[in-house]
């Protein structure tokens, strides 16, 4: 399941002493690396490929290994950020819980509706509308036979 949003804690970001030691460009690069990893998963083990994927200037290739070493963990698939992966797991679990609660709520509503509420009576309402009982709507005029027509 892909999650459309990334929970972001500005106070944590701005108060992290390791982040504070980064230059403005390095902080921007690190943040973009987090965003890219949120979308795609582990970052490739190739600094030039990371910079290209971000659309960052080539001169930042030399900054990538230091950022990876400081904030990321090497895994078979590339590089992951431990905090990002904890947030991904927590967010997915929250979405699954909310989805389950929503399904249970909908099931309870439909069960209640089946006992006589408007939704439970939808087939009956549709039958009445289809047979001309649509709350005072005028009926379509019947065609009159034209002169000279014969009926057999």
- Confirm whether 86 is domain-assigned: no
Q: Which two tokens stand for residue 149?
A: 């027509």
Range of the domain at 30: 10-81
What is the pLDDT, as a whole number, of residue 136?
Answer: 59
What's the pLDDT at 129?
54
Is 122 among the domain residues?
no
State the total domains in the chain: 1
What was the pLDDT predicted at 4? Answer: 80
120 in Cβ contact with 113 (< 8 Å): yes
In a domain, 147, yes or no: no
Distance CA 55, CA 68 (A): 18
Residues 46-87: tens digit of each pLDDT = 999 999 999 999 999 999 999 999 999 999 999 999 999 999
Supply the pLDDT for residue 68. 97
Stretches where the chain sits below pLDDT 70 are 116-138, 147-152
The alpha carbon of 132 is separated from its chain's Cα centroid by a whole number of angstroms, namely 44
CA nearest 67: which of 33, 35, 20, 37? 33
């Amino acid at each position: 399941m892909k999650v459309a949003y990334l929970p972001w804690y500005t106070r944590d970001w701005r108060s992290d002493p390791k982040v504070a030691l980064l230059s403005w460009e390095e902080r921007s690069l690190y943040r973009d690396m987090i965003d890219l990893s949120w979308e795609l998963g582990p970052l490739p083990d190739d600094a030039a490929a990371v910079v290209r994927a971000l659309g960052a200037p080539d001169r930042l290739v030399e900054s990538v290994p230091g950022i990876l070493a400081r904030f990321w963990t090497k895994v078979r698939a590339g590089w992951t950020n431990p905090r990002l992966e904890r947030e991904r797991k927590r967010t997915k679990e929250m979405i699954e819980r909310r989805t389950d609660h929503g399904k249970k709520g909908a099931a309870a509503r439909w069960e209640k509706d089946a006992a006589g509420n408007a939704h439970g009576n939808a087939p009956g309402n549709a039958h009445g509308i289809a047979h001309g009982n649509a709350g005072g709507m005028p009926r379509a005029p019947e065609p009159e036979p034209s002169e000279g027509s014969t009926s057999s």
